[in-house]
Amino acid sequence: MKTLFYAWGMARRHLLYALNSPKVWAGILLVLSSVLTLVTPFARSAYAFGETVSVGIIAYNFSAHNSILKIFIALLFIFSELPLKDAGQNFIVIRGGKRAWYLSQIIYVFCVSVFLILIISLFSIIPLTGKLNFTNSWGIIHKNAANFSPATAQFNVSASVSEAALQAVSPYAALAWSIPVGVLLMFVFGNIILSLNSISRGGYIGTVAGIILISLYLFKSFVAFPWYDNFTIIEWAGFTPKSGEGAKPVVVITTLFCLLLITAIITAIRSRKKSDLNIR
């Protein structure tokens, strides 16, 4: 309990430090840009045709190709510095211990993941003020977009979700999948970077792993093998797995929890080693 208490105090310090990091702000701005680029065309279309847009639009952020790429590139910016090793870390490690210090990094990753989900959700709703539909139905704009209707195409409304997916998954089912799995996926992504960076001499192997995970998704359109879906993990928070498209839900959840366990074990082993942290 004492270790957890120290870890939480350290994590709060990490979050304050993040507010002064250009990389973190670059990541946040990229996420905002991604959300507004996706949602604004829906808003323009809704006002033009006097229709409403489903609150399920939040889940689109994890189903649209460009949005997924921008979100995880932003995460790469934010998490690439893990484990945090600024000048003030020596003092807090001496005070709280190395085990609490590593645990604080994990807590930091989780807090950032939750914070980004809140940003994505909030700024998916704000541009649609007065035009948001809270019923459990997608509505005409989503359906027209899925069918590449010229009416919505003229506003560049995202057609990234198929009509079959909309028919298979209701808006609230999409949200019930995308929001918690989105947090879990970002948490796992950050922990992969943290754990691998912590065991590599130069502290960059985790960042390279993050780039590889993004690249696997980027080149998905060039690979025709169905099994390849099991490696494009950054798209797994999209609600299409619930509709039978992409990796199966049981594969998604099992794989993410296994990766989370493996990265936690790596970090725990690292926290017990007596070698110097090389904090500069």
CB-based contacts of 263: which residues, under 8 Å, 6+ apart? 188, 191, 192, 194, 195
**Comparing C-alpha atoms, which of 28, 31, 109 is closest to residue 68?**
31
Q: What sign results for the dihedral spanned by CA atoms 184, 190, 193, 196? A: negative
Overall domain count for the chain: 1
Q: Is residue 280 part of a domain?
A: no
Q: Is residue 277 part of a domain?
A: no
Q: Is residue 279 part of a domain?
A: no
Query: What pLDDT is attached to residue 202?
Result: 67
pTM of the model: 0.89
Q: Is residue 278 part of a domain?
A: no
Q: Is residue 260 part of a domain?
A: yes
Which residues in the chain come in under a pLDDT of 50? 276-280
Q: Is residue 70 part of a domain?
A: yes
Which residue range is the domain that position 97 belongs to?
2-272
